[in-house]
Amino acid sequence: EWADKKKASSLEQDEYTKYLLAPVLPEVTDPKSWWLEPTQRKSYPELSIMALDVLSIPAMSAEPERLFSSAKITITDRRNRLGIDTIEAIECLKSWLGKDGTVAFADGAVDMSSSDSNEERI
């Protein structure tokens, strides 16, 4: 078992070293596509998985920031004792209800604009 782990770690190190020693290709403009190519996936199987994991991380954090701003509005001085489950439920409902009066469902949307405003329901 120990020999297998040592062999695996040396293969990973060799894969990284092999990548570092490879010539630089200046014409690569889309790194994600490059790592998805069968040649790269075969040459660097573990490294390509790691690279795709890193390249798949969204560059913007706008949605989480929007969520925190919305939660700040929800948790006022008068609502400071709300439990985390309640806050989570409120934020989910606000997200699902949306500003346009439609409720987002997996199989479509339902128009809720004929009833009271979204804020009054929450």
C-alpha–C-alpha distance, residues 110 and 101, integer Å: 8
Q: How many domains does the chain have?
A: 2
In a domain, 122, yes or no: no
How many other CB atoms are found less than 10 A from the CB of residue 35? 19
> According to the model, what pLDDT value does residue 11 have?
53
Residues 29 and 68 in one domain: no
Domain assignment of residue 120, yes or no = no
- Does the structure show a pLDDT above 70 at 108? no
Cα–Cα dist 40/55, whole Å: 15
What pLDDT, in 10s, does the model give residues 41-67? 999 999 999 999 998 887 777 777 787
> Which residues form the domain of 69?
61-97
Residues 52, 4, single domain; the answer is: yes
32 and 11 in a common domain: yes
Same domain, 10 and 50: yes
Could you read off the pLDDT of 21-32 as tens digits, one per residue? 988 888 888 889
Same domain, 47 and 84: no
**DSSP conformation class of 24:** P
